[in-house]
Amino acid sequence: MSLLVVGINHKSAPVEVREKLAFSPANIPNALALHREKFPSSEVAILSTCNRVEMYTSTPTADVTAFNGNSISPEQLIDFLSEFHKLEKEKFASHVYCYQDVEAVNHLFFVTSSLDSMVVGESQILSQVKEAYLIASAAETAGKVLNRLFQKAINVAKEIHTNSMIGKGKVSVSSVAVEFAEKIFQDFSNKTALIIGAGEMCELVLKQLVEQGMATIVMANRSFDRAQALANEYGGKAIKYDLLTDYLPHADIVISSTAAPHYVIHPEYVAHAIKARRGNPIFMIDIAVPRDIDPEVGKIDNVYLYNIDDLQSVVNKNIDERAKEMEKCKAIIDKEVNEFMGWLEEIKIGPVIQKLREHFHAIGKEELDRLRPKLKEVKGDDWEQVVYTMERTLNKLLHEPAKVGKEEAKNGSAYRYAETIRKLFGIHHNEEGRSNS
């Protein structure tokens, strides 16, 4: 068996390339069916997310089983992607990576465990790998090898997330900001967020607040049209920028990220708001550079003020913690990769051992056929005993070669052992012994 993965991801290709090669859930079955038509002896699965597009294949090979199997080349998979998406190879081939055999196994385990993700430790990729596997299973393009490979990858990911801290701690400024807010309010279902500015960072925080159930969103921006557009997208309300101070008393959470060269929120504004709120706290996040909120605001009772450096320090700490966990995760993956490759090598050696058995028993039958006329007086049960003794002797002789073959396979020496067996006993390649795995 030869394993191959060909793909692109967020590290190898920009989004304008990835989106052209992306598969929708609806067209993956069509792609799998077309691949099976082109390469009937190959297993295949397709993983397509916003950050990666990868094709995993397993094909019989001539190097170990030696039954005229033909492995698929990376170039053939690149051609397949080009034809399916009607995209010239020159527009994406330079971004493609490929891994074979042990490197392919290692890559899938890293991907499924989210060690290759844009945000290391995130959990979404595991469900995406499961979905890719289920689609391939339903299309009957995942056979013995890919079934085992993907099931193993899913189990490895679960083990890593259970036995390491790789997924603990937020690793983006926006997610840390929301995490801080959750510590103060616990529940956003009756809270109001005032968003000052309409840039990318504000939108990231806004999106996460909405996902966590923020009840009311109020947008303020110098460009009212931009504030209105963002408010409409997230079910909020836009206000004129000069009404900002009027809305401060209604805000439980304030997120500010403008391009202003000076403070836009001053202590007196916030002191007035706290008084109007009768002491109810305000959580304020200043993610602007230069800062939007006067640092003196943080000295007011019941005001929780954090700036970009406060958030980034937490992000950096969490990233450092995840980096420490990486070595533990790699050790788990190394062990599981070795175990899987041992199993795969056993599959490779199996047909050779079977041919050796057939070879020995064919010789035994020839000798029995030659002996039978000479032992006319040996009949019935007596002759059956002779046949049984011959077969039992052959099986005893074959036991040790089979045992050693499995051990050699686990050590990655299947090819060398298979070639030695062939040379010693004159076993030749032929169609009849082709593996159906």
Contact (Cβ atoms closer than 8 angstroms) between residue 182 and residue 212: yes
Other beta carbons within 10 angstroms of residue 394's beta carbon come to 16
341, HSE (Cβ side, Cα atoms, 13 Å): 19
Give the H or E element holding residue 204.
helix 200-211
E strands, 94-215, are 97-100, 192-196
DSSP code for 22: P
202 catalytic residue (yes or no):
no
User: Which of 50, 98, 202, 329 is the catalytic position?
Assistant: 50
E strands, 18-146, are 43-48, 52-59, 97-100
Other beta carbons within 10 angstroms of residue 27's beta carbon come to 15
Cα(216)–Cα(218) distance, integer angstroms: 7
Put the strands of the sheet holding 97-100 in their side by side order.
43-48, 52-59, 2-9, 97-100
Cα(351)–Cα(430) distance, integer angstroms: 11
Any residues with CB less than 8 A from the CB of 145 and at least 6 apart, and which? 1, 3, 43, 58, 344, 347, 437
Which residue is associated with the tokens 């109810």? 280
Cα–Cα distances (Å) from 323 to 107, 121, 218, 252, 333, in that order, read 18, 10, 38, 35, 15
Contact (Cβ atoms closer than 8 angstroms) between residue 405 and residue 349: yes
In this structure, the strands spanning 237-239 and 97-100 are unpaired
Catalytically annotated residues: 50
